[in-house]
Amino acid sequence: MPTFSHSRLSTFENCPQQYKFKYVDKIKIEPYFQTVEAFMGKRVHETLEKLYRDVSMGREVSKAGLLLDYADDWEEKWTDDVKIVKSGYTGDDYKRVGAKCLENYYDANAPFDKDVTLELEKKVLVHLGGDYSINGVIDRLSQKGTTYQVHDYKTSSHLPSQAEVDADRQLGFYQIAVHALWKDAGDVELVWHYLRFGKDLHSKKSHADLEELRIKAVALMKEIGEKDGDDFAPKVSALCSWCEYKPMCPAWAHLEKTSLLPKNEFLNEPGVKLVNEFAYAKEEQHAAEEKLEKIEAAILDYSKKSGASVIRGSDKKITVTHTHHLSFPAKQSADRTRLEALLKEKNLWDEASTLDSTALQALLEEKKISAATAKEILALAKDSERTSVRLSKLRDEETD
């Protein structure tokens, strides 16, 4: 059983097909690219890591110094391969957002002496029982009095609700790791720093919460382990725009491949041609159905006016039939109760098969009941006429 990570499990939940590309087939996309959101998040994390390393060395960190470290890191690592998905924005826009994240954090936490930093970018392996384990990285682990705090920095543009962070799995895994690694860690608090908003969200998990999280994670890992190659279906969502496997994904490959073709090549591409033919045939089918409905209405009108129930064409004929259909009151209605009582009173209940509409209609048609009873029953029924039109070949004798 492979070692999982929170992001690996999330990849499976978001899209099993992407999971297969990445972790089963292990496809590496060349040239490698990363999204600007991921790039910006990494630079912010690196800058905050350096900040706490400097603080632990007794250095005083100014806001200007922090932003300079960030700008240097950004310039050094920026490449044109960084992908900007949202149109209308540039790398500089994201650089500014990252800087704002750091300013917010600085303003809320300087001079960074509210707690003691125990670990930075700490790699942990969380054993969940059996062969199942999760690895991850704690951004910062600190101690404040007797409480350990697991910190996670977020540069996302989405601010989750308290309920969402309470249900978060990733920091729950890290809490399990903290309890395993530091036996004196009685009280553990989980803290998410939503840097864009300058907002911290806090949560605590009881041992029962952690056990529930462990059981669910193991069940998910088992489910993934039992999947066959074809079980990893694409799950199309807004996340597709950020997916590096889009050009080879079954849900997107043809759209991607054909989107760049010149018009004449596009129209001659076999898949495009088939879809166009199908769409055209469907339109024709729809138009033909509408036409048929109109002709059928005209035939019924003709039949009514002329009194003819069989109407001939050149080598086919149309037979118009009218049938009467009785419908009986709906269950639990007052009329239904009256009808059931009437049938029982007239000893017809068994024959009507506990008010089977077909059986009751047959009783009436076969005139097995007295005219007076039939009249009472019909008073509670609704009579509707059904008309059908049937096309068939003219018989020889009909063409003489």
Nearer to ligand SF4, 136 or 234 (CB): 234
The least distance separating ligand SF4 from the CB of residue 242, rounded to whole angstroms, comes to 8
Q: Which residue has the tokens 């007295």?
A: 370
Number of residues that bind ligand SF4 (CB under 6 A): 14
Compute CA distances 321 → 41, 303, 308, 390, whole Å. Answer: 74, 10, 10, 8
Q: Which stretch binds ligand SF4 (CB under 6 A): 13-21, 108-116, 300-308, 356-364?
A: 13-21
For helices 91-109 and 36-56, give the axis angle rounded to 10 degrees. 30
Residue 53: left (phi > 0), alpha (psi -120 to 50), or beta?
Answer: alpha
SS3 category, 271: helix
Q: Which is nearer to ligand SF4, 82 or 240 (CB)?
A: 240
Distance CA 392, CA 399 (A): 13
Torsion (CA) 138, 143, 146, 148 in degrees, nearest 10: -10
Q: Least separation, in Å, of the C-beta of 173 and ligand SF4?
A: 24
Stretch that binds ligand SF4, among 10-18, 26-34, 174-182, 307-315 (CB under 6 A): 10-18
How far apart, in whole angstroms, are the C-alpha atoms of residue 10 and residue 364?
A: 65
User: Least Å distance between CB 25 and ligand SF4?
Assistant: 11
Residue closer to ligand SF4 by CB (options 29, 326) is: 29
Q: Find out whether 318 and 389 touch, Cβ atoms under 8 Å.
A: yes
- Sign of the Cα pseudo-torsion (106, 109, 113, 116, in order): negative
Asked whether the beta carbons of 196 and 156 are under 8 A apart, the reply is yes
User: For ligand SF4, which is the closer residue by CB, 224 or 249?
Assistant: 249
Question: Shortest distance, CB of residue 158 to ligand SF4, whole angstroms?
Answer: 18
Told to check if 22 binds ligand SF4 by CB under 6 A, we report no
The interface with ligand SF4 within residues 215-254 (CB under 6 A) comprises 234-236, 239-240, 243, 245-246, 249, 251-252
* Cβ density class 111-145: b for 16+ within 10 Å, e for less: ebeebebbbbebebebebeeebbbebebbbbbeee
**Min separation Cβ 165 and ligand SF4, Å:** 24
Binding ligand SF4 by CB under 6 A: which of 5, 12, 17, 176? Answer: 17
Nearer to ligand SF4, 111 or 250 (CB): 250
Shortest spacing between CB 333 and ligand SF4, in angstroms: 50
> Do the strands 132-144 and 4-5 form a parallel or antiparallel pair, or are they unpaired?
parallel
Give the footprint of ligand SF4 on residues 317-346 (CB under 6 A).
none
Report the residue number, 18 or 175, with the smaller CB distance to ligand SF4.
18
Least distance in angstroms from the C-beta of 315 to ligand SF4: 54
CB of 227 to ligand SF4, least distance (A): 15
Concatenating the DSSP letter of every residue in 204-252 gives ---HHHHHHHHHHHHHHHHHHHT--GGG-----SGGGGG-TTGGG-TTT
Smallest distance, ligand SF4 to C-beta of residue 234, A: 4
**Listed ranges 15-23, 67-75, 217-225, 357-365: which one lies at the site for ligand SF4 (CB under 6 A):** 15-23
In this structure, are residues 158 and 197 in contact, taking their beta carbons and an 8 Å threshold? no
Distance in angstroms (rounded) separating the CA atoms of residues 350 and 313: 48
Enumerate binding residues for ligand SF4 (CB under 6 A).
15, 17-18, 234-236, 239-240, 243, 245-246, 249, 251-252
